[in-house]
């Protein structure tokens, strides 16, 4: 795979060396640890996203998680580390974990997480079942190998909730009642959802919890900027001018 824009490709031995330092899910030592934030990136992989657009999303995620401003936000927190996992969603009841929990606290671990995001095979998805994706992320948070006082689900997509077995507002309300914050990134790739229309739907049906917010991306090429700004805000708790 070619190098992502703004993200240097890691050599295999670097990734393996970093993986040995990361605490995997279920490891006894990891369970005794804690992080500042548990963050699930729930990413739209439905049929509306063609292979080129899908690549743009993956590269945008990788660029964002390894960006110096995001790392600075992580290091500014008391424990200087977050737990991160990536979910792809679309099919009713079919959301899939494509990158399981990884601990990110420095450049090496961020690069390893970014590489894992780039290399993970695309899951098979259709439709836009956001509610089911939220419940999948709920279970993923419950199985996290570290404790955290803050738990966030970050939903990015280019359309509204369609054909969920559990509608997005119902799933969102359950999560918020359990202390989870749900934020959104609205990708205005379709003319049907531009000018803030998709963001308004996310505000109504998807996001919830203290300080919950929606970031807009004008199109998929704007995804990396929007995701970077969103991560900084989620990790540091404040809007950054770095985007």
pLDDT of residue 46: 83
Q: What is the pLDDT of residues 21-50, one digit of tens each?
A: 333 444 444 444 899 999 999 999 887 777
Lowest mean pLDDT segment, chosen from 83-87, 156-160, 236-240: 236-240
CB 84, CB 112: distance < 8 Å? no
Lowest mean pLDDT segment, chosen from 95-104, 174-183, 188-197: 188-197
CB 114, CB 58: distance < 8 Å? no
Q: What is the pLDDT of residues 101-154, one digit of tens each?
A: 999 999 999 999 999 999 998 888 878 899 999 999 999 999 999 999 999 999
Residue 19 Cα distances to 83, 136, 140, 172, angstroms: 14, 25, 20, 33
pLDDT of residue 18: 36
Pick the CATH number of 35-236 from 3.40.50.300, 3.40.50.2300, 3.40.50.410, 3.40.50.10860: 3.40.50.410
Give the burial class of 33: count Cβ atoms within 10 A of its Cβ; 0-12 exposed, 13-18 middle, 19 or more buried: middle
CB within 8 A of 20, min separation 6: which ones?
A: none
pLDDT of residue 237: 66
Q: Where are the domains of the chain?
A: 35-236
Return the percentage of the chain with pLDDT > 70, whole number.
82
């Amino acid at each position: 795979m070619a190098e992502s824009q703004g993200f240097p490709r890691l050599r295999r031995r670097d990734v393996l060396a970093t993986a040995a330092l990361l605490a995997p899910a279920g490891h006894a030592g990891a369970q005794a640890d804690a992080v500042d934030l548990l963050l699930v990136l729930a990413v739209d992989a439905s049929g509306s996203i063609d292979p080129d657009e899908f690549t743009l999303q993956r590269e945008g995620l990788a660029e964002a998680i390894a960006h110096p401003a995001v790392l600075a936000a992580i290091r500014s927190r008391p424990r200087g580390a977050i737990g991160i996992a990536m979910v792809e969603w679309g099919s009713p009841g079919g959301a899939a974990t494509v990158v399981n929990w990884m601990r990110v606290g420095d450049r090496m671990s961020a690069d390893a997480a970014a590489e894992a995001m780039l290399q993970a095979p695309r899951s098979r998805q259709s439709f836009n079942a956001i509610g089911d994706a939220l419940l999948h992320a709920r279970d993923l948070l419950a199985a996290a190998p570290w404790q955290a006082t803050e738990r966030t689900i970050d939903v990015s997509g280019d359309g509204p909730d369609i054909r969920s077995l559990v509608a997005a507002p119902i799933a969102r309300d359950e999560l918020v009642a359990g202390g989870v914050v749900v934020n959104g990134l609205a990708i205005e790739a379709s003319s049907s959802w531009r000018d803030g229309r998709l963001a308004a739907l996310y505000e109504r049906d998807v996001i919830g919890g203290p300080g919950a917010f929606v970031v807009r991306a004008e199109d998929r090429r704007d995804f990396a900027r929007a995701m970077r700004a969103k991560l900084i805000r989620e990790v540091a708790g404040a809007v950054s001018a770095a985007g």
